[in-house]
Amino acid sequence: MASTPIPLKNTLILTLTGSMMNGLQTLPQWRTFFNNPQGATLGLMNSVYPLGETVSLFAVSYISDRWGRKLPLLIGLIACIIFSILQGLAQNIHSFIIARALLGIFTSFLGQPSPIIITELAYPTQRGKITALYNTFFWLGAIFAAWCTYGTFKIESTWSWRIPSLLQGAVPIVQLLGLYFLPESPRWLVSRGRKEEARKVLADYHAGGDTESPLVTFEMREIKHVLTEEAEVISTNSWSELIRTPANRKRTLIAVVLGFFAQWNGVGVVSYYLVLVLNTIGVTKVKDQTLINGLLQIFNWLVSTFLGALMVDRLGRRTLFFTSTGGMLVAYIIWTGLTAHFINSQDEVTGRVVVGFIFVYYLFYNVAWNPLLQAYPVEIFPYTLRGRGLSVTYVAFFIGLILGNQYQANMSESKPTLRWGIVGTGMISSWFLSDLSIDRKDAQATHIIQAIGSSSVEKGKKFVETHIPNMSPTVYGSYEEAYQDLNVDIIYVGTPHGFHKKNCLDAISHGKNILCEKAFTLNAREAREVFDAAKAKGVFVMEAMWTRFFPLVKMVQKLVHEEKVIGDLVRLFADFAMDQRIESLAPEHRLRDLALGAGSLLDIGIYSLTWGLLGLDAGVGEKATRPKICASQTFIQGGVEVSTSIILQYPDGKQGIITSNSKVKTPPAFCRIEGTKGHIIVEGPAAAPENFIVYMDGETEGKKYDFEKPGRGFYWEADAVAMDIAAGKTESDTMPWAETVRVMEIMDEVRRQGGTKFPQD
């Protein structure tokens, strides 16, 4: 049986190429290169492989029956080497998907004939165990794939995923060298009239080379008898024989049910989406995810081999199936309940128990569903239908896999997951984190606070204890460490304005997406530098002007610009003032230090300016109209601006009067938009409006619009960012780069006219 390991290891190739996606999804470098694929896109990337396998099965079955078991193996091995290289060198998502599809097509040339030739070569008393062992090599391939990605996850370049992809071709090279020594199936040789060749194969592998051995003579007589008997019963050599007789219909039904439910028994959720499962229970670090994946595959191989394949003759196939399926059901119920409890409680111990039940679930799965997936169909079908019967099992298996991939991917499509690294532990960061921790039924994304970057570890830990005590992000004593964290998808910059440019450029250099607080930078020149760097790196960057994402704001824009309920616009008043007791603050305070962007304009005036721009112009960025600016400012000792007044003058005659002040407080009605048919009053803080009232000319009472707002409202912009990144965008449609530059240019002109000058100007 020296050559039996050759087809046995073919399932290792099948799994190495199939399970590779699970490992690749744990790598930030892979996700970043392909623009964070999620939902239907991720489902497609996972599904094209089994789809390719399904498409080619019918051709493989014909080739295997017509020209023998070895020819499809030769074709499959060569193709797997070529297309592994294509996947490893993929330059875009399209070439990657094509490579996966082609790998799927040609791995069927290995998967279909291998268990058949193993059965037909195996020593009679060992046939059950050896055939069952075939699919346990599935886990050796998974082990190889998992530990490949574990070994490369620290490589910051694309080679972290290219190396494992290229290594898919390593095992086929070894198999190709060994294929020469693999004999042809003796049953196939007899069916083609090559009886002496068949006798020699049986003698070499079952009788030490003795062609006159009674065992060899008996096996030859049995093969001839079975082939003759099957030829008499089976009228035609066609696929219709699978359903022609009651016995064959039963066999075919078993093959379909076995193949389909091998995927639809819950195993597909973990096999292809382990990363998403671990994210759900709070295991988000790349090292932890790849380690769990690697250990799980080793565990699976040990169980499927010693509690599954080697028990088939001792315990019987039915006993194993009942034990396996019943145990999976109980484990899955407990696992699901614990996961729900963790989501509600965020209890760390519960999360660990959930991880444990993933292993318990797989223990029962591997008792029968892994080792008997191919072994059982091969045993129940007669020789003439063996290839086609196994193909039916595979088709049902791959259809279940394809449907499962698309269903599971689409279930997660509307809620992408984003792992945040927070830079800066001031007030605005605390507000942002508090909002992300709110449990919202209408949430469009899952937000995980992965890391906190602070000036010291002690300060960072105190920040976590105060604002998010139920969470346990990694706390760093520097911003740089947060940028370097491979588990972080996006950096939230909540530092003073004067640090924004450096913070953003440093994060971009590490390939991080960015949400940076307003004002984005100190001036338009700095903003352009950041966006140029983001464009070169291909990362998402957005100014955190959260007000623009409020449903209330979008409704005001719709009524004013689309429905024109107040007629043609005439003028707008917007104010944001806060008594910040600025004169009592220390000179190094952010509101007093000009190097940090001190003054009311960048701190709060940007909100009233935003209302002026949104209220008077339907366009944003390059589509917006550039108004003329007339501005004046008032200062206190030290040259710090405390009051700004701006007039926005549009070509069509409408005007906006925009004010900000650091010494008094804005009344509740902070904005008034006037038109030829009526006006709108907006109430609440300018940054986080609460309601608005529409008054039509001649009416004493207006129509009030109230909007529910749990928390402060930062989650709307966070959800929008997550959706944009999931869609592969690098900038927001609501707050595009050009709009940030436009706002900064307007404020630059206001400062020029008013007299505010920063050292960085």
- My answer on whether 438 and 567 are in the same domain is no
For residue 187, tell me if it sits in a domain: no
pLDDT at position 330: 94
pLDDT at position 289: 77
CA nearest to 512, candidates 31, 23, 26, 77: 31
- My answer on whether 282 and 397 are in the same domain is yes
pLDDT at 520 over 70: yes
Tens digit of each residue's pLDDT (9 = 90 or more) over 710-754: 899 999 999 999 988 877 789 999 999 999 999 999 999 999 999
Q: Which amino acid is at 715?
A: Y
For residue 737, tell me if it sits in a domain: no
| Domain coverage including residue 572 | 548-713+747-754
Percent of the chain's residues with pLDDT above 70: 91
- My answer on whether 240 and 357 are in the same domain is yes
pLDDT at 636 over 70: yes
Quick one: average pLDDT of 671-675? 98
pLDDT at position 700: 85
Q: Which amino acid is at 670?
A: F
Higher-confidence position of 704 and 236: 704
Q: Which residues contact 151 (CB under 8 A, 6 or more apart)?
A: none
pLDDT at 569 over 50: yes
Q: Kindly report the average pLDDT of the chain as a whole number.
A: 87
pLDDT at 665 over 90: yes
Q: What is the largest CA-CA distance in the chain?
A: 113
For residue 728, tell me if it sits in a domain: no
Last residue of a domain, one of 413, 435, 469: 413
- My answer on whether 265 and 318 are in the same domain is yes
Q: How many residues does the chain have?
A: 761
pLDDT at 276 over 70: no
pLDDT at position 729: 86
pTM over 0.75: no
pLDDT at 236 over 70: no
pLDDT at position 25: 77
For residue 520, tell me if it sits in a domain: yes
pLDDT at position 234: 55
Tens digit of each residue's pLDDT (9 = 90 or more) over 298-335: 898 899 999 988 898 889 999 999 999 999 999 989 98
pLDDT at position 269: 65
DSSP per position, 651-720: TTS-EEEEEEESSS---SEEEEEEESSEEEEEES-SSS--EEEEEETT-SS-EEEE---SSSSTHHHHHH
Lookup result for tokens 């023998």: 68
Query: Sorting pLDDT into bands at 50, 70 and 90, what band is 360?
Result: very high
- Pairing verdict, β 655-661 and 640-649: antiparallel
pLDDT at position 2: 44
- My answer on whether 216 and 109 are in the same domain is no
Please give the order of strands across the beta sheet that includes 628-636: 628-636, 640-649, 655-661, 569-577, 669-675, 678-683, 691-696, 703-706
Tell me the C-alpha distance between 398 and 168, whole Å.
20
Residue 542: in which H helix or E strand, if any? strand 541-544
Tens digit of each residue's pLDDT (9 = 90 or more) over 240-264: 888 888 999 999 999 999 989 888 8
CA nearest to 171, candidates 24, 20, 53, 50: 20
Quick one: average pLDDT of 187-198? 89
For residue 624, tell me if it sits in a domain: yes
- My answer on whether 573 and 607 are in the same domain is yes
pLDDT at position 461: 95
Quick one: average pLDDT of 509-518? 96
- My answer on whether 224 and 247 are in the same domain is no
pLDDT at 183 over 80: yes
92 phi/psi in degrees, rounded to 5: -155, 175
Tens digit of each residue's pLDDT (9 = 90 or more) over 429-449: 999 999 998 888 888 898 999
Last residue of a domain, one of 386, 413, 440: 413
- Pairing verdict, β 640-649 and 628-636: antiparallel
Tens digit of each residue's pLDDT (9 = 90 or more) over 125-166: 887 788 778 778 777 777 787 778 778 877 878 898 999 889
Three-state secondary structure call for residue 617: coil
CB burial of 504-515 (b: ≥16 within 10 Å; e: otherwise) equals bbbbbebbbbbb
- My answer on whether 480 and 520 are in the same domain is yes
Output the domain CATH number for residue 107.
1.20.1250.20
Percent of the chain's residues with pLDDT above 90: 49
